[in-house]
Structure 1
Amino acid sequence: MRNIKITAVFTAILFIFALIPASVPASAAFTPDVELYSSAYYMVNLDLGTVIAAKNENEKCYPASITKLMTAIVAYENCADLSMPMEVTYDCTNEFWEGDPNKDGAGTAGIAVGQTDLTMKDCLYGLLIKSGCECGNIIGYNLCKNKGGIPAFIEMMNKKAKEIGCKNTHFGNTHGLWQEDNYSTPYDLYLIARYIYDKLPEIVEITNTYEYIMPANKYNPSPYGIYNVNSLINNVGDNPYYYEFASGLKTGSMGEYYTKDSNGEWTVYHKGFANIVSTASQNGFNYMLVTCGAPYTDEEGNRLNGHFKDSIALYKWAFRTFDIREVMNENTFVANVKVDMGENADVAILKPAAAFSTLLPKDLDPSVIQQKITITAEKNDNDAVVAPIEKGQVMGTLELELDGDTLWTTNLVASQSIALSQFEYTMRMINSIFDKWWFRLCVAALAVLIIADVVLNTVQKARIAKMEARRARKANIRGQW
């Protein structure tokens, strides 16, 4: 009988690690518990980049003088020396007197045509703190004097807006006086202001300046002061809108504006509005806020200043409501997963790959934060991950949600290593061989051979016995004769 040698071939087990970031912070906007005049707003914690309040942030709005922030960006980044002398021509002021009611009598910084002692620095201060409309045109004219003039500068403004990431913004002028093609959104205005906040501290400083002395001209025989129109930062006199924690950046208001009727005449009247983008800091917390669409006047026609009121209300709400809170750390138990063929372990404990702290309401119950767990590690038919497992191995993802908004996404990792049980592995391989069809076929064939051999041997022995009995009878007969 031949000896049959069976050789078992074992394959290596491969683990695929998920190729996602270890942690991805996101935002969850909250609803302020204050009444507001503005139709849209967007508020961000600058320390974490967390959006804490938003309404209609992607809706079209007219930025008014907030347009001047983009004018300042393009001017600052394309002027090597702020002492650059500026030429003031009629081209810079003509549009304010050409019959468009939206531009007639525009607010200015008192600059005179033909003035020769004006610098880029003067124009930036006049543009941003006095909101002088002529300053925007003077800047555009001088920087693009030989390259297409003010229209070419406006093209640069639109190009820069796209570079910053604005997708719903178009500028039609340098100053923000009403034009159909001069529009943005609260979110895009935030992107513009955030760009200045992060990259152009000199511009931030200008917007936070209360007073600046302009050079004399024919309208002002002596150097004269211009003053910031942002009431949030003006601690002068009896100003009810001064907010000690506020700083920069820019207001943008229109008392009223007109659009053309079917005959092309400027007869269609629209009520005015007030916008502002600002920042505020208190107790180590820093916020940026954009508010848009507050009515310019109340029902009696009195100046409402709703944009200032809303800004103060939202800042106070944020400072009293939010704090940095730890949601979980690297030792927080999140989930477990069954382990197959583990050495002394049948469960792997999963923990977050990183700690997570974020800005949350001080009185928020952490249990309302929902956990969305996804196991990405490959499982077998027993819904288990096959050992070995290394400590820190990515096993899945964790997403934290609050009121339907994603707060954070991170990897889930194994908290400890789990070795492969060699005994269980060997037994599993042996059992797997027994389950193979070809093995069962061989066993069946062998059984048939054994049974056939037994039957043949039995038949053979019976034949031999029968033959021997026959010979014995013949021998007895011969002996009798």
Structure 2
Amino acid sequence: MNKTAKVVITVMIILSNLICTNMVIADDTNDDGPITKDIIKNESWEATGTQLPRVSAGAAIVMDAKSGRVLYEKNGYKRNSIASTTKIMTAIVAIENGKDDEDVIVSKRAASIGGSRVNLKEGKIYKLGNLLNAMMLRSGNDAAIAIAEHIGGSVEAFAEMMNRKAAQIGATNTNFVTPHGLDDPQHYSTPFDLAMITQYALKNEKFCKIVSTKSSSFEGNPINNTNEMLSLYPGADGVKTGYTGQAGRCLVTSATHNGWKVISVVLNCSTRSVRAQNSKILLDYAFGNYSTYDYLKQGQQISEIGIHKGLNNSVGLCSDKDVSIPLKKDEADRIKAEYDIPKTLEAPIQKGSRIGTVKYVLDGKVLAYADIKATDNIKRKDFYYYFDRIFKTWARLVHER
């Protein structure tokens, strides 16, 4: 082989490695430098006032974790590659269908996957709970495949479970092909769908505990959470990072201030520092411009309604759930409650039966709604009731004579 041929082959090998690396890299396997608090603190961004946040992320959203109200979005409903933020869905499906102490046998497919990994050994047995931590903290792709094969029987079957769950949640512009999120043209979601999936997942205590953990250990080795916001942003308590060549730097963050939790999503950022800065901008905008207004408490009586032919003349009405809405001050002045309930009801009435609805409307848009239910059982006046009334009236008249 001549010298020219050797050079060509060497160049081809290098290019091939670069291309393959770009295809499989996930999260911090190709870190672009450390992030310090100064990187976030020193950036000057508009966080309050009427000006909307300025973010360089290709797509972004910030959402109230309770009501699901979108407070800001940029290309929030556009399909994107989502890298390892995929693992949010992987984790919640595994948590709902498995137990921490279950034994998971690692396949060759899991052990040989590229990108970020925790170096699982083919044929070795691990506990499901430990794999979940390794997947969500260190973003182990090998752990994701091992979990998927254990829960679903195969990666493909588990992806179907993920898609069914997405549809159930209402994330209808999402399609999962893998449990790890390495680039695939048929694997995508949107900032809005990712926020909805996260909103659902955060209702699970085990999920919350995992994604809020800064550091742990796996097989005797320390593992640190790839989510930089846990250390940089006050109140940050989740959720998941992501990175591939196609998706760019991605981050889903949850943060809680004064009992109010919001979710931010940034996709396709150029560096870790940029995704941290963009996430901070969105969170600052939410916490700096909105306050939560509590309108209804589940089960608390809010009014009464008259009953026709009932043993009681009226019955109490209550909401079937809490209603809290994040609003700007001027929005709170304009929001209206629209009740749809009848003027009277016909007995009998069963406790908990749906009587009507209430909607909270801002500028023609429904921000929240609740069913209105009866607080008590109300029996109907029947033949025996009227007979008893006649008998008692007759007895009283006889006694008076």
TM-score by length of 1: 0.53
Structural mapping, 1:172-321, within 5 Å: 172-198=177-203, 200-215=204-219, 223-234=220-231, 242-254=232-244, 256-257=245-246, 273-293=248-268, 295-296=269-270, 303-321=271-289
Q: Which residue type is aligned with residue 128 of structure 1? A: M
Q: Which amino acid aligns with 1:73?
A: I
Aligned to 1:470: none
Deviations 1:321-345, CA, capped at 9 Å, x for gaps: 2224589xxxxxxxxxxxxxxxxxx
Distance in 2 separating the partners of 1:227 and 1:398: 45
Could you tell me which residue of structure 2 aligns to residue 87 of structure 1?
105
Give, in whole Å, the separation in 2 of the partners of 1:34 and 1:186: 16
> Are the aligned partners of 2:169 and 2:196 in contact in 1 as well (CA < 8 Å)?
yes
Q: Say which SS state the counterpart of residue 254 (structure 2) adopts.
A: strand
- What residue is the counterpart of 1:60 in the other structure? 79
Secondary structure at the aligned position of 2:202 is classed as: helix
Unaligned runs of 5+ in 1: 1-29, 97-105, 216-222, 235-241, 258-271, 297-302, 328-352, 378-388, 412-481
2:362 aligns with 401
Query: Which structure shows the bigger proportion of residues in helix conformation?
Result: 2
Greater Rg over alpha carbons, structure: 1
- Answering whether residue 188 of structure 2 is matched by residue 141 of structure 1, we say no
Shift of 1:193: 1.0
> For the aligned residues, what is the CA RMSD?
3.6
Deviation per CA, 1:421-472, whole angstroms, max 9, x where unpaired?
A: xxxxxxxxxxxxxxxxxxxxxxxxxxxxxxxxxxxxxxxxxxxxxxxxxxxx
CA contact (8 A) 1:31 1:53 kept: no
Give the Cα separation in 2 of the matches to 1:365 and 1:122.
Answer: 46
Q: 1:168 to 1:357 in 2, by over 3 A?
A: closer
Q: Which residue of 1 aligns with 2:171?
A: 166
Could you give the per-residue CA deviations for residues 161-187 of structure 1, whole angstroms, max 9, x where no partner exists? 222222111111110110111111112
Contact 1:32 1:53 in 2 (8 A): no
1:472 maps to none
Contact 2:111 2:119 in 1 (8 A): no
Residue of structure 2 in register with 1:360 after alignment? 327
Distance 1:142 1:398 in 2: 44
C-alpha separation in 2, matches of 1:131 and 1:375: 48
1:74 Cα offset (Å): 2.0
Cα distance, 1:314 vs structure 2: 1.6
1:227 shift after superposition: 0.7
- Aligned 8 A contact 1:401 1:408 in 2: no
* SS, match of residue 86 in structure 1: strand
Query: Aligned partner of 1:169: which letter?
Result: T
Map residues 69-108 of structure 1 onto 2, 5 A cutoff. 69-79=88-98, 81-96=99-114, 106-108=115-117
Query: For residues 50 and 60 of structure 2, what CA distance do their matches in structure 1 show?
Result: 11
CA contact (8 A) 1:274 1:305 kept: no
Matched letter for residue 225 of structure 1: P
SS of residue in 1 equivalent to 2:242: strand
- 2: CA distance, partners of 1:253 / 1:141: 23
Native 8 Å contact 1:64 1:176 kept in 2:
yes
1:185 and 1:111 map into 2 onto residues whose CA distance is 31
Residues 140 and 247 (structure 1), Cα distance of their counterparts in 2 relative to 1, 3 Å cut? same
Contact 2:86 2:181 in 1 (8 A): yes
Query: Of 122, 127, 140, which residue of structure 1 is paired with 2:135?
Result: 127
Tell me the distance in 1 between the aligned counterparts of 2:95 and 2:164.
15
Is the contact between residue 68 and residue 199 of structure 2 (CA under 8 Å) also seen in structure 1? no
Match of 1:436 in 2: none
Q: Percent identity?
A: 26
- Distance in 2 (CA, whole Å) between partners of 1:401 and 1:150 is 44
